[in-house]
Structure 1
C-alpha cells in the first residue's frame, strides 16, 4: 500500500479548510495530512490547531519565525516535514474526490514511474467567482491534458514541443510524487515566486523525473472557485500579468542554463521569456527590440505569446 503525505499550505482559508482536510485524511493510503500555516489573518490557525488535536494523522507546522513566506516556501517546509514515501499536494480551498489514488495504486507498481498526474474539475462556490473564472477560462470542466503521456513526452508537451496539442498544465492537486525522486533531483519550489511557483515546479519536475498520466478524462480532485481566487484576478496580458509571467519564465530560463538543457528546450524557454521581456518595453523602444529579436530568432513570432508583443 502507498504511504502518502498530503501537504496543504494554509493561508486565509478558514471557511474551506475542514472540507479540504476531511477529503484527504480518510484514505487508507494517506499516512499523514501536513498543514503548514503561513501567518493567516483569519481564523485558519485556530482551525488547524483544532483539526490536529482531533486526529493524529493531521500534523500542524508553521515557519520558524511564524511569518508569511508564500506558497512556495510553505510547500517546501511541508516536503521537509513529510515522512511518507509519496508526496501529494492539496490547496486549502480545494478537495479530493474518492477516486484520487485509484490510478496511483496501479501505476506506482512500476518502479520506473516517479510521479503520476491526473485531471481536476471546478466547483463554483460563489456566483462572482464563477463569473470571473468563466470570463478568463470559458467553461472548461477539467484542467487536464489531451492524451496519455509519460517520460520526456510530458516535458515536451508542457513546452508545446509535441506534434499535437498536449493541453493545459495539470494541477498540483492531481500530482503524486515519490519523495525519493524529489530528493534525487534536489527539486524544491522557487520561494521567490509568489505566483506561478506551481507551474515552475511542474515543468522542472517533468524534466528531472519520470512522470506518467493517470486518470485524465475525469476529475480526481476539485478546485474551489470563489471570490478570492488569485487565478481569476489578473487580466491576461495586463502589465501585472506580463510582469508575473516574466519572473516565471526567467526562473525557468535560469534553471535551463544552470542545468545545461538540450538546445531545443533552452531555446523554447528563452523565447517564452523574451516575449514577456519585450512586453515590458514601451513605444519605439519596444518595436525596435521586437525587430531586433525577430531577426535573431524568427521563431519568436510563432510562440503562443506572439500577440503579447503588440499590446
Structure 2
C-alpha cells in the first residue's frame, strides 16, 4: 500500500524558493498533500502560495486565524492540525527534497513499532555571501547526518551525548518522517514560544516519546539551502544573543524533563546544559559566586564543553 505523507512547509519571506520546494515534494508519489502555512511574509510569498494551490490539487494553503506572524513552531503546529495523511514530513521553504527522499521509509515503516525515520541531508550554497557566512561559523558540512545506524532509546541517548560512541550532529527536521498517530498519542508539538531552536527541542522530545530509527544516513535525501538570510549564520557562536537562545532552549527542555520524570541520567544532562547557559548570562562577581555554588552541588558542570568558553569571559 502506498504511503500517504503530508508535507508541512512553513512559509516566511521565501518567494525566491517556495516554488522549488513544493515542486520537489510533488514529484514524489508518497506525498499525499503539501500543507503550506503562510506566516505573514513581507515579500510576495503569499501570492505565490495561492498560485501553487491553483496549479496543484495536492497543495493546500493555510494562515493563522489572525493572519499574523507567529514563527516557524506555531506554523508547523498549525500544519500538523490541518494534515490528513498517515505520516508527517517537514520541509523548510528554502530547501528541497531529492528523488530518494522516502525510499528508506517505504521499507522501515512496514515494522509497526517504528514511529519515525530520519535520514541525511546535504548542503547547497545559494549565494556567495551565505556560503562565506556559513563557512566562517561552521565546518564545511556536505552531509548532515549521524555517525552510525541506531534506533529506539539509543537515539534519545545519542542526542544528549549519553552513548559510548559519538552520535554525531543532530539530524535535520527535513529528513524526518513521523506517524501522525504517534504525534497525537504523545501530544507532541513544537514550542511556539521558541522563535529559534524549536526544531531541536521537538526532535529531542520526539526521540524520548517515540521509537525512531535511522534510514539513509550515507547519502542526502534533501538539500538545505544556504543564502544571505539564513538565521543560523547571523548569530556569533557563544555571543550573548547565542547564549540567550540556547538558555531558552535548554530551560524549556529542563522544565519538560522534570514534568515528564525522564530517567535521572538524561534529566541531569539536560539540567547541566541549561545551567551552563544560565551561568553564561550572569555578570560580575555574582557570576563567579553562582558558578562556585553550582560546582559544589554539581561538580560535573565543570566538565561541560561550555565551561571555558563562558566562564573565562
State the TM-score, normalizing by the size of structure 1. 0.99
How big is the shift at 1:310?
Answer: 2.2
Say which SS state the counterpart of residue 177 (structure 1) adopts.
strand
Runs of 5+ unmatched residues, structure 2 = none
- What aligned pairs does 1:217-228 form with structure 2 within 5 A after superposition? 217-228=218-229
Say which SS state the counterpart of residue 225 (structure 2) adopts.
strand
Q: Is 1:143 aligned with 2:144?
A: yes
Q: Tell me how far apart the structure 1 counterparts of residues 135 and 143 of structure 2 sit (CA, whole Å).
A: 13
Q: Tell me how far apart the structure 2 counterparts of residues 36 and 140 of structure 1 sit (CA, whole Å).
A: 29
- What aligned pairs does 1:174-193 form with structure 2 within 5 A after superposition? 174-193=175-194
2:133 is matched with: 132
Q: What do the CA deviations read for 1:1-54 (whole angstroms, capped 9, x no partner)?
A: 110000000000000011010000121100000100000010000000000000
Q: Tell me how far apart the structure 2 counterparts of residues 302 and 186 of structure 1 sit (CA, whole Å).
A: 35
2:311 is matched with: 309
1:253 is matched with: 254
Say which SS state the counterpart of residue 252 (structure 1) adopts.
helix
How big is the shift at 1:238?
Answer: 0.2
CA-atom RMSD in angstroms: 0.7
CA contact (8 A) 2:27 2:99 kept: no
Say which SS state the counterpart of residue 122 (structure 2) adopts.
strand
Say which SS state the counterpart of residue 31 (structure 1) adopts.
strand
How big is the shift at 1:89?
Answer: 0.2
Q: Tell me how far apart the structure 1 counterparts of residues 122 and 192 of structure 2 sit (CA, whole Å).
A: 27
1:294 is matched with: 295
Say which SS state the counterpart of residue 9 (structure 2) adopts.
strand
How big is the shift at 1:306?
Answer: 2.1
How big is the shift at 1:97?
Answer: 0.6
Q: Is 1:236 aligned with 2:234?
A: no
Q: Tell me how far apart the structure 1 counterparts of residues 10 and 35 of structure 2 sit (CA, whole Å).
A: 8
How big is the shift at 1:177?
Answer: 0.1
Count of residues in correspondence between the two structures:
311
Q: Tell me how far apart the structure 2 counterparts of residues 234 and 217 of structure 1 sit (CA, whole Å).
A: 29
Q: What do the CA deviations read for 1:182-239 (whole angstroms, capped 9, x no partner)?
A: 0011000000000000000000000000000001111110000000000001101100
How big is the shift at 1:99?
Answer: 0.7
Say which SS state the counterpart of residue 295 (structure 1) adopts.
helix
How big is the shift at 1:272?
Answer: 0.2
Q: What do the CA deviations read for 1:254-295 (whole angstroms, capped 9, x no partner)?
A: 000111111111111000000000001111111111111111
Q: Tell me how far apart the structure 1 counterparts of residues 177 and 128 of structure 2 sit (CA, whole Å).
A: 31
1:97 is matched with: 98
Say which SS state the counterpart of residue 200 (structure 1) adopts.
helix
Runs of 5+ unmatched residues, structure 1 = none
Q: Tell me how far apart the structure 2 counterparts of residues 25 and 279 of structure 1 sit (CA, whole Å).
A: 45
